[in-house]
A and B are shown apart, each in its own frame.
Chain A
Amino acid sequence: MGPTSKPFEIFCGTGGVGKTTLATSRALFLAGKGKRILLITIDPAKRLKDLLGLSNDAIGEVTQVELEGVKLSALLMSPEKTIGRMAASGNTPDLASNRIVQILSKPYGGMNEILSLVEVQMQFESGNYDTIVLDTPPGAHFLDFLEGIGKIRSFFDKSFVEIFAHIGQKSTKAGKRLFGLGIFNKVVSAGVKKLLAYLQNVTGAKFIEDFVEAVQIIYQSKDSFLKGLSLQDKLSEQTMCNWFLVTSVEQGKAQEAVELKGHASHYIHKDHYLLLNKCLENVVRDWKPTDSKLLEVKVSLEEKESGLKKRLKESFLNILEFPEVVSLSPAEHLHFLTEKWKTYAS
């Protein structure tokens, strides 16, 4: 009853629960079975870098790594590098050189999720991998990632683009280029002019001009962005994707895991697994403390964990438990978890 590997395997969770480590161990397990694996992390903590021994130069580039004799590819998302690849493949150099686009594609800029989707789609299309294991940002930011799809949609929505085309008509080169296409040669509602007049009072006129130009430049690369949309269908298809929601006993947050699942219900299908990390049950089960204080600790730890499991079972059909690993070495930890996946193999 363990998970069968799929083209996409998505790890999401509440943060600080070992999500990155579990995703990495899953990738290693699959690579060990001879699969061609790409492991991508969007997690800002960059812990994957340390786990895989990658240098800073590797950020944003697909890098071959070898761990315990197993080879796999890894990619730490860098919005800047993705933009660069898009500019190169779409022959739109402005995309990489525009000042505002550069700021928007900073690691925590608003383009982050959109660019992650585009990157995952580009890697999928390369056909180089059997499975892409994706480590998403923690907690609610995982939802930002999913919302990236909605963002792309609203961004390239026709009425929205019309507004930008209209504004751009006045001055910018990009605007002229768009108008050369003759698509937006239509007068947009008078409300737009008003909106801009108001906003200029607040943000300054220069900014509005720059932002509009940036959006138009982005629009020129719309084909690569829109490809990201097709990812949505793949992720919600049972044969294409496994979902792993990760939480830990330490956190005791059943509610959050359930909420996460609820928020992602558009995408999550039957093949989803709750990974419960850092279980102590096996460690304390046979413990018979003589000291009354210690007995109190044992009972508390046990009750907390069993209460958590009970609550999780009400919402999740498949729960895979991973025990607390006390060993301090990240490599040993990874090895242990990879072995654990074998016991869950179907």
Chain B
Amino acid sequence: MSSPRRLYIFSGKGGVGKTTLSKAFVRHLKSQGQEAIYLTFKTQSMSDAQTNGSDMSKNGIREIALDLEECARGYIEKRLNSRLIASWIVKTAFFRALVNMVPGFSYMIYLGKILEMGKENPNMIVVLDAPASGHALTMVESTSNFQQIFESGVVFDDTVKMLNKLNDPQYTKIHVVSLPSLMSWQEALELKSGLKQRTPVSVDITINNYLYPLLETNLEDIPPQLKEKALNEKKLIDENVKDVQCILPHSLKHSPEAIEADLVGSLSNLI
């Protein structure tokens, strides 16, 4: 088994099980003696609504939701050496327009925060439950957008540093999650190729919620439509097995926590 990366990004269309899988993966890493945290982005734009990031322990794993305004304030505070000025800047209409309009600005702020957290604690592995498909591309692309927009300045220099970390295959790994349906699979492939064009780190596809193994004991004993569904799933996986990193079976459990617990043992391929 290769040594773990420092940042794992789980992406894919909504509803494919990214959250459950990300959390299960944190548990898996912990079971291997690693220090891992689960992380999400709270908001993608700046509004007047008061939101706060959170940092809490739930069922033994640390879950952090980053808030954009807090992260932006933290960054500016560091650059200008003043919390007061930073608090004022992030509240101005001009700054909000800047963050809301420039593609990927919010992601740059978040990624900067993640890398900083990584620097503070060199043993910590961050598992990022990333925004869905198109936005994952923006996230990865944001660094190059920045180079086009900011031709110089501190942000530009920081961006270059960030990009080097993010694009380091030893540091970062991306998992695209898909369901075993043709539609979901095609989208996963599309996302993977989009990511591959933008970053040199490894991008693997994981199939989640695979029903076939639960039914194969007696395929004649199940309704025709369900059988067809299961066989279609199997066909999809057989045809594409070389492109699939990990296959996770459908769970009969109901609660996300129970499904999570079911998955923990099957995730060593994702490290």
Please give the residue numbers on chain A whose beta carbons come within 8 Å of chain B beta carbons, in ascending order. 14-18, 44-45, 47, 100, 103-104, 106-111, 137-141, 144, 147, 150-151, 154-155, 157, 159-160, 163-164, 192, 195, 198-207, 210-211, 215, 248, 250-251, 253, 280, 283-284, 286-287, 289-291, 293-294, 296-297, 300, 303-304, 307, 324, 326, 328, 330
Please give the residue numbers on chain B whose beta carbons come within 8 Å of chain A beta carbons, in ascending order. 13-16, 44-45, 47, 76, 79-80, 85, 88-89, 92-98, 100-105, 132-135, 137-138, 141, 145, 148-156, 179, 182-184, 187, 190, 209, 214-215, 217-218, 221-223, 225-226, 228-229, 232, 252, 254
Q: How far is the CB of B117 from chain A (nearest CB, A)?
A: 21
Q: Are B94 and A195 in contact (CB under 8 A)?
A: yes
Q: Are B155 and A204 in contact (CB under 8 A)?
A: yes
Q: Which residue of A lies closest to B16 (CB)?
A: A16
Mind listing 24 A-B residue pairs with CB under 8 Å? Answer: A15-B14, A16-B16, A16-B184, A45-B13, A45-B187, A45-B190, A103-B149, A104-B101, A107-B134, A108-B134, A108-B141, A137-B134, A163-B94, A201-B80, A201-B154, A206-B151, A251-B14, A280-B226, A283-B223, A284-B226, A287-B226, A289-B218, A294-B215, A296-B252
Q: Which residue of A lies closest to B151 (CB)?
A: A206
Known contacts A16-B14, A106-B103; A303 and B254 CB within 8 A of each other = yes
Q: Which residue of A lies closest to B97 (CB)?
A: A155
A-B CB proximity, top 8 nearest: A204-B153, A15-B14, A44-B134, A110-B101, A16-B13, A108-B138, A109-B103, A251-B15
Cα distance A104–B229 when bound, in Å? 43
Cα distance A65–B195 when bound, in Å? 31
Q: Which residue of A lies closest to B251 (CB)?
A: A300
Partner of B79, one of A103, A139, A202, A204: A202
Known contacts A155-B97, A203-B155; A108 and B103 CB within 8 A of each other = yes
Q: Are A108 and B137 in contact (CB under 8 A)?
A: yes
Cα distance A248–B183 when bound, in Å? 14
Cα distance A296–B215 when bound, in Å? 10
Cα distance A138–B18 when bound, in Å? 15
Known contacts A202-B79, A303-B254; A291 and B214 CB within 8 A of each other = no
Give chain B residues whose Cβ lies under 8 Å from the Cβ of A16.
13-16, 179, 184, 187
